[in-house]
Structure 1
Amino acid sequence: MNQYQKAFLERYLATLPVTSSTAGRAFSAGYYCDNHQEANLCASLILAGKKRATSSLYEGYVRAGLSLPKKGDLHVVTDWQGCPVCVVEVTSVNRCRFIDVTEAFAEQEGEGDGSLAWWREAHWDFFTRECYSLGVQPSEEMALVLECFEVVYPRRESMNHDKG
């Protein structure tokens, strides 16, 4: 997390009641997706309330030695350039196989037309690229991490790239 992202998170944390605890929560920052156009689109969809979930490849966590996200964790969503857009709080985390992702989850992810067919096609391409970068063979059985979240700290002027 860079200084701008950390300052943005700290501004959010300062809005919480003194009795609120951040103990046990993980904090992270970054964009969703793997390219400029889609990362900025995802940030916009989150701000608009259309994107309320994300998915990632379980093997990516394993290979990087990272803990899985958990309910209550906070994530500073950024645009592609790393500028803070909003803070989301994880509301649920589940693991499932690619083939078992549901229509309801695809709709929560809020991308494309919201259908499971669109989700499967777009995410197959995305996860295939990630699998190849990890030296893993993609399959419909590959394990995913499905996160649902809610925006807890929006930044109205978020897409103006002012880093602050």
Structure 2
Amino acid sequence: MERTPAAPLDLAAAERFWAEYATAHPAAADADPDHAVDRFGDSAELSDELVGLVVNGTKRATADLVDEFRARDEPLPRVGSHWVACDGAGKPTVILRSTELRIGTIASADAAFARDEGEDDGSLESWLTGHRRYWERTCSARGHSFTDDHEIVFERFQIVWPPELADTELGSAGHLSRQAAE
């Protein structure tokens, strides 16, 4: 797979995108005003592929090394936190809200989480193979080696913005509820 460096994040566009969400859902935005702006993956192609899986509904989970958050000087996500997910060109695409988090090692990954990540064939075996390869590459880029003892943040999320892609609906108090299937 070709690996083109991802473009810088368009922080001004991400803040406008966040402002649209905050205007539409002030209680939810006020609950987490310090949202993150980030992307999936380590290349433009991988970022586009993974945010595409989010948009089409296949991907509702992600995993990253605790060390990666530290290297970027970012706090770990928390349940209820938001992040503006950008594509490989740095353009904001969706706003995600963390719904479940846990920290574990690669040995603690399970089939349900692999399925929720929505990558490859959705199996635990392909998840383990792909993520080991990814973390070996990203650790190496930072001058480190990936080991099975690394702590991993396992995160499930919902799309909350833009409205046409949202998994959830925000009530008047800013609480999230599942949309009724039509």
TM-score, length basis structure 2: 0.78
Runs of 4+, deviation exceeding 2 Å:
18-21, 23-26, 61-66, 133-137, 154-157
Which residue number corresponds to residue 8 of structure 1?
Answer: 17
Which residue number corresponds to residue 55 of structure 1?
Answer: 63
Q: Distance in 2 between matches of 1:71 and 1:99?
A: 23
Q: Distance in 2 between matches of 1:21 and 1:76?
A: 12
Q: CA offsets, 1:80-130, max 9 Å, x none?
A: 111111111011111010122111111111111110111111111110112
Q: Distance in 2 between matches of 1:129 and 1:6?
A: 30
Which residue number corresponds to residue 86 of structure 1?
Answer: 94
Summarize the alignment of residues 93-104 of structure 1 with structure 2, pairs less than 5 Å apart.
93-104=101-112
Gaps of 5+ in 2: 1-9, 166-182
**Larger RCO: 1 or 2 (CA < 8 Å, sep 6+):** 1
Given the superposition, is the C-alpha separation of residues 156 and 60 from structure 1 closer, same or farther in structure 2, using an over 3 Å criterion? same
Summarize the alignment of residues 105-124 of structure 1 with structure 2, pairs less than 5 Å apart.
105-124=113-132
Q: Distance in 2 between matches of 1:60 and 1:32?
A: 12
Q: Distance in 1 between matches of 2:128 and 2:121?
A: 12
Given the superposition, is the C-alpha separation of residues 137 and 8 from structure 1 closer, same or farther in structure 2, using an over 3 Å criterion? same
Q: Is the 8 A contact 2:37 2:85 kept in 1?
A: yes
Q: Is the 8 A contact 2:48 2:88 kept in 1?
A: yes
Q: Is the 8 A contact 1:86 1:155 kept in 2?
A: no
Q: CA offsets, 1:124-157, max 9 Å, x none?
A: 1110112222333211221111111000013769
Gaps of 5+ in 1: 158-164
Aligned length: 156
CA RMSD across the alignment:
2.0
Give the letter aligned to residue 154 of structure 2.
L
Matched, 1:36 2:33: no
Given the superposition, is the C-alpha separation of residues 39 and 47 from structure 1 closer, same or farther in structure 2, using an over 3 Å criterion? same
Q: Distance in 1 between matches of 2:164 and 2:29?
A: 26
Given the superposition, is the C-alpha separation of residues 156 and 19 from structure 1 closer, same or farther in structure 2, using an over 3 Å criterion? closer
TM-score, length basis structure 1: 0.86
Which residue number corresponds to residue 160 of structure 1?
Answer: none
